[in-house]
Structure 1
Amino acid sequence: MSELVFDNVSVRYGGRRGGLTAVDGVSLTVPAGQVVGLVGESGSGKSTLARAAVGLSPVTSGRVLLDGTDIRRLPRRRPLQMVFQDPYSSLDPRMSIGESVTEAMPRGAHRGRDARRAEVARLLELVNLDPDRAGMLPRQLSGGQRQRVALARALAGRPEVLIADEITSALDVSVQGAVLNLVRSVQRRLDLPMLFISHNLAVIRYISDVVAVMYLGRIVEAGPAEQVLTDPQHPYTRDLLAAAPRLGDDTTGDDSIPADIEPPDPHHPPAGCRYHTRCPIGPLTNPERTVCATTDPADGAIRSRHRAACHFTGSGREHPGTSATSQGGSPL
C-alpha cells in the first residue's frame, strides 16, 4: 500500500508583482488505505493542491512524495489518478465509454482486443454500470452515470492513490448519495488511499478517516475525522461547522460572530494568522490578542494527530454548531 505526502508544498502563479500563492507551505499526509477529506471555502487552494499532486499545477517549492519518491521522478505513467468535478467535461464527447476507459489503461497491460474489452466490462461493473453501455457516448448518459464512468476511467490507470475533486457538487442531490456510497465501497474494496476534496462538511464526515481544513492556501487544522468535526480546535473550523445547514435549525449563528466580513485578498494575505481579520476570538473582538496579527501560528503548530494552527487553540468552545456535526447518519 502507498502513502502520499505533501512536504511543505507551495504553488505560485504569476510574478512577484500581482502573483498569487494559491498553496503556501502545505504539509499533509494521505496514509495508506485511508481517506483524507480536504475541506475549505472556495479559493482556499484545495483543487490547486490536488492538481499539483497529479502534475497539472507546477510545484513552486516543496515536494509531493509517493512512498518517499518525488512524483516528478516517477515514470510517465503516474500512479496517481484524479476524478474531476464536472462529469460533463471530463470525458471526450466523441469517444465511446469503452474507448475512454480503454485509453486510460497502461500500455501493454491488456494485450488484445478481447482482453481490453473484458477489462472495460469489469471496471464498469465495479462502478455499478451495465457493461453494455460501453458503446454509448457520454451525451447518452446522465450526470451520475458519467461520473461513474470517470471513476472507472481513473481506476483503469491502476492508481496507487486516487484523488477526487468535488465529484458530487455538479450532480443532482438525488444521485449524490449513490455516488458517495459507490466511492466509499470501491475505496474499501481496493484499499486505495484517497484525497477527497469537498466544501460540504456532511460529505467529508461521511467518507473520511482524516480531515484537513484549508484556508487561504494553508492547512489550519488536521486530525482524525471524529475529533476534528466534534471537537474543532481552530476558529475557522468552528465557523464552517456553524455555517453548515442542519435539519430543523432555522438559525444562522449568534450575534457574537462577526458577520459578513469580506475575506482577505488572496494576492495580499494578512500577516500573522491569516484568519485573524475574520476570527471571532481574535483581535477583532479581543484587541489584546495582538499576537494573532503579528505571528504566524502555523510556525509553532504541534505535530500531533490532531493539530491546529491557532495561538488560542481550543478557545471559544461555546462557539455554536460544534455539537451539531457530532450526529451520525446520512451524508445528505
Structure 2
Amino acid sequence: MSELRFDQVTVRYGALTAVDGVDLTVPSGQVVGLVGESGSGKSTMARAAVGLVEVASGQIQLDGEPLRRRPGGRRPLQMVFQDPYSSLDPRMTIGDSIAEAIPRSAAGARRQEVARLLDLVGLGADRAPSYPGALSGGQRQRVAIARALAGQPDVIIADEITSALDVSIQGTVLNLVRSLQRELRLSMLFISHNLAVVRYVSDFIAVMYLGRIVEFGPAADVLADPQHPYTKELLAAAPRRGSTTLLDPVAQLLADPAAQAVAERAAQVVADAEPADPHHPPAGCRFHPRCPIGPLVLADREHCLTIDPTTDADRRRHRAACHHVAGDLQPVTAGSVAKEDSL
C-alpha cells in the first residue's frame, strides 16, 4: 500500500490547459473516485500519473518521493484502460499478455503467476491459451485487470473501466474491483463520469470541473451533503435513494415569496447553459456560467465573475471551490467510510 499525491500538477496540450494546478491525494489502501464530465481533465490526470503525458508543472509523488521504477523492473503504478477491445494485443494469448507484465524478478515463476492471476479475476487458469478475440468485453476487462496486477503495483489507476461494457456486466466488473481492492488493500484512483459508479467503489470522492478539483471528501459525506453546485448537478443526474434537486440551494437561500421566481430563473440558466470552452475558461469561478446560485441568477454575486474560489477552498467544507459554501473545521481524514453492499 502506498500514498499517491498530485501536488499542484498542471498538464498542457499546446494552448489547452487540461489540468490546472491540481492537489489530490489517494491515501494508502483507499479508493479515491474521480468524477466529472468529459473534458474535465480526469483521464489526463491518469495519463500523467503513469507517464503517458508530460507534467508542465507540479509533481506527482508516491509515499512522498518522485515516481520512479522499482527494483527488478516493477512499475509502482499500473493503469486499466477504458476500452478492453483495444488494450490487449489481439495476436497474443491472454496468458502471454499477462506474463509480459510480470517483473523480471518474478520471471522464473511466470506460468504459476499467470494461473494465479486468472483465478483471482474469476476467469480460470485454463483460459491462458485463449486469444482476446475469443472473449467477451467483460472477460477482456478482467484480463486487463489481471495484467495490471501482474506488475505488482503500489497503486492501480482505473480509467472509465466500465463505460465501454454492457450495463448487464458493469456490476460484475465493479464487484470484482471492489473485492480485489479489499482483499489486496490496494490504493486506487477510480475515474468515471458516472457518479453512481464512483460512489459504489470509493472511500473518497473528488469532483473535477474544467481542469480543477471543485469538491473532495469522504464518499458518504459528499453524497449525503454535497457542497458545490456542480456536485449537486451530478448527483441529481445519478440514480439514488431519496431525492435531491439542483434547485435546493436556491430554495434554502431565499425563504420569501420571490423564491419560486428565482428557482425558475435558475432552472432556465442551467437549461440554457453551454459547456465552457476549455481553451478559454471563464474568469473567477469556472462554473459561474452554469451555476443555479451564481451571478446569472442572483445579481449580488458579481464576485463570482472575478474571484477564483479555489484559492481558499481548503477552509471550506469538502474543500469546495465555491464562495457560498460555509467553512468546515473538520479535517478530511483517511478513515473508513461506509459503502453500499451491492449494486
Question: Same fold by TM-score, threshold 0.5 exceeded?
Answer: yes
Amino acid of the residue matched to residue 264 of structure 1? A
Which residue does 1:149 correspond to in 2? 143
CA distance in 1, matches of 2:167, 2:323: 39
Q: Match for residue 3 of structure 1? A: 3
**Which of the residues 278, 283, 286 maps onto 1:274?**
286
- Is 1:21 equivalent to 2:14 in the alignment? no
How many Å separate the matches in 1 of 2:231 and 2:216? 10
Matches of 1:35 and 1:242 in 2, distance apart?
23
Task: Determine if contact 2:2/2:28 at 8 Å carries over to the other structure.
Answer: yes
Worse-matched range after superposition: 63-72 or 94-103: 63-72
How far has the Cα of 1:178 moved from its partner? Answer: 0.6
What one-letter code is carried by the residue in structure 1 that aligns with 2:208? M
Name the CA shift for 1:74/1:287 in 2 (closer, same or farther; >3 Å). farther
8 A Cα contact 1:232 1:314, kept in partner: no
| Match for residue 163 of structure 2 among 165, 169, 174 | 169
TM-superposed deviation, 1:243: 2.1
Higher alpha-carbon deviation: 2-11 or 240-249: 240-249
Are the counterparts in 1 of residues 229 and 246 from structure 2 also a CA contact under 8 Å? no
Letter in 1 for 2:5: V
Q: Pairwise mapping of residues 175-194 of structure 1 onto structure 2 (< 5 A)?
A: 175-194=169-188
Which residue number in structure 2 is paired with residue 100 of structure 1?
A: 97
TM-score scaled by structure 2? 0.86
Distance 1:73 1:327, change over 3 A: closer
**Which residue of the partner structure matches residue 294 of structure 1?**
306
Deviation at 1:215, TM superposition (A): 0.0
- Matched with 2:335 is none
Q: Which residue of 2 aligns with 1:321?
A: none
d(CA) in 1 for partners of 2:99, 2:339: 42
Partner of 2:56: 60
Contact 1:91–1:138 under 8 Å retained in 2:
yes
Q: Per-residue CA shift, 1:194-239, capped at 9, x if unaligned?
A: 0000111111111000000000000000000011111011011011
Instruction: Report SS of the residue matched to 2:86.
Output: coil
**Which of 18, 30, 35 in structure 2 is aligned with 1:34?**
30
Q: Name the CA distance, whole Å, in 2 between partners of 1:87 and 1:116.
A: 23
Deviation at 1:305, TM superposition (A): 7.5
Q: TM-score, normalised by structure 1?
A: 0.89
Partners of 1:52 and 1:153 lie apart in 2 by: 20
Q: Is the 8 A contact 1:83 1:154 kept in 2?
A: yes
Alignment-derived partner of residue 88 in structure 2: 91
Q: State the match for 2:319 in structure 1.
A: 307
Q: For the residues of structure 2 that align with 1:161 and 1:246, how far apart are their CA atoms?
A: 29
Q: What amino acid sits opposite 2:155 in the alignment?
A: V
Partner SS, residue 24 of structure 1:
strand
- Supply the distance in 1 between the matched residues of 2:146 and 2:110 (Cα, whole angstroms): 13
Distance 1:26 1:222 in 2: 12
Name the residue aligned to 2:110: 116
Equivalent runs, 1:161-240 vs 2, <5 Å: 161-240=155-234
Report the secondary structure of 2:179's partner residue. Answer: helix
% same residue = 71
- Give SS of 2:149's match: helix
- The alpha-carbon distance between structure 1 residues 5 and 247, as it changes in their structure 2 partners (threshold 3 A), is closer
CA spacing shift, 1:153–1:63, aligned 2, 3 Å: same
In structure 1, C-alpha distance between the alignment counterparts of 2:201 and 2:220, rounded to whole Å: 11
- CA positional deviation for 1:306: 2.3
Distance 1:314 1:138 in 2: 52
Q: Indicate the RMSD between aligned Cα atoms, in angstroms.
A: 2.2
Judged with a 3 Å threshold, the aligned counterparts in structure 2 of structure 1 residues 73 and 57 are, in CA distance, closer, same or farther, namely: same
- Taking structure 1 as reference, are residues 10 and 120 closer, same or farther at Cα in structure 2, changes over 3 Å only? same
Amino acid at match of 1:210: F
- The letter for the 1-side match of 2:223 is L
Q: Supply the AA of the counterpart residue of 1:108.
A: S
* Cα shift readout 1:99-136 (whole Å, capped 9, x = no counterpart): 0000001113131xxx2111100000000011111001
- SS of 1:36 mapped into structure 2: strand
Which consecutive unaligned segments of at least 5 residues does structure 1 have? Answer: 316-325
Contact 1:243 1:252 in 2 (8 A): no
Q: Is the 8 A contact 1:234 1:314 kept in 2?
A: no
Cα offsets for 1:81-106 (capped at 9, x unmatched): 00000000000000000000000011
Structure 2 gaps of 5+ residues are 248-262, 328-337
